Amino acid sequence: MRTGTTRGIWLGTLVAVAISACSSVGSTSTTAPDVSAAPADWTTYAGDAFSIAYPNDWEVFSIDETLVDEVVGDAGDFRGGILMAAGLPGGDGSYSPNVNVVVEPAPVGGDLDRYVELSRRGIESLFSSYEISRSDRTTIGGRDAVVVTGSYDLSELSPGTEGRWWVIQTVALAGDTGWTVSCGASGPDEASVAGAMELCRTVTASFRIAGP
């Protein structure tokens, strides 16, 4: 599989990296929607600390973390790292849909709700157009997690850009480490990305953190 590198906005990727999570607001249920296991013919990315599956026509690519710094600026203390990113390559150097995995220190005493709340404050300080359509409690590999579905205007990152970035984020803790898996796609409305969002749900549901 070819490994690509993008520097361009990749608006959706960049913002999904910059935002760690969001809170349980909007439509809420006690469990996330049922998602079947990732297809057997998908590619599995297995690092030392985590694994995740994605479609075979997606590519792993690199993100210039200075772009994350440009977005976050003084709005927050982004001390984490981007461990991987993969997506469906477009002809303009973009990747949509795409997924990325971010890890950061989370000294919240194992309180997932607290971590989610702190992350919500961060995203609200960055993107005033962010809207959450649903937030669900679930588990990934036996760990408690929160799955948030939301969107924001792409114009907040690049003035004049039309449409929204629609993103599903799975947020979990492992000790004092916070994990966020973000998968999204761009489109003018929710109906236009329905297929991509179902794909993203399967991708994010495949995520597993190694160890106890």
Output the DSSP codes for 169-190: EEEEEETTEEEEEEEEEEESSG
Q: Given this model, what pLDDT does residue 78 score? A: 44
CB of 83 closer than 8 Å to CB of 72? no
What number does CATH give the domain 4-209?
3.40.1000.10
Mean pLDDT by 10 residues, the chain (212 residues): 34 42 35 61 90 94 66 49 87 85 87 83 80 90 91 87 90 90 91 94 93 76
Q: Given this model, what pLDDT does residue 146 score? A: 93
Q: Count CA within 13 A, CB hemisphere, residue 195.
A: 2
Q: Given this model, what pLDDT does residue 16 score? A: 52
CB of 11 closer than 8 Å to CB of 160? no
Q: Given this model, what pLDDT does residue 14 score? A: 45
pLDDT in tens, 69-79: 555 554 444 45
Hey, where are the domains in the chain? 4-209
3-state SS assignment for residue 72: helix
- CA gyration radius, the chain: 16
Bridge-based pairing of strands 4-6 and 59-63 is parallel
Measured CA to CA, the distance from residue 55 to residue 77 in angstroms comes to: 33
Question: pTM higher than 0.85, yes or no?
Answer: no
Bridge-based pairing of strands 131-140 and 27-29 is parallel
Burial class (CB in 10 A: 0-12, 13-18, 19+), 51: middle
Q: Given this model, what pLDDT does residue 65 score? A: 62
Q: Given this model, what pLDDT does residue 181 score? A: 92
- Which residue type does 97 have? P
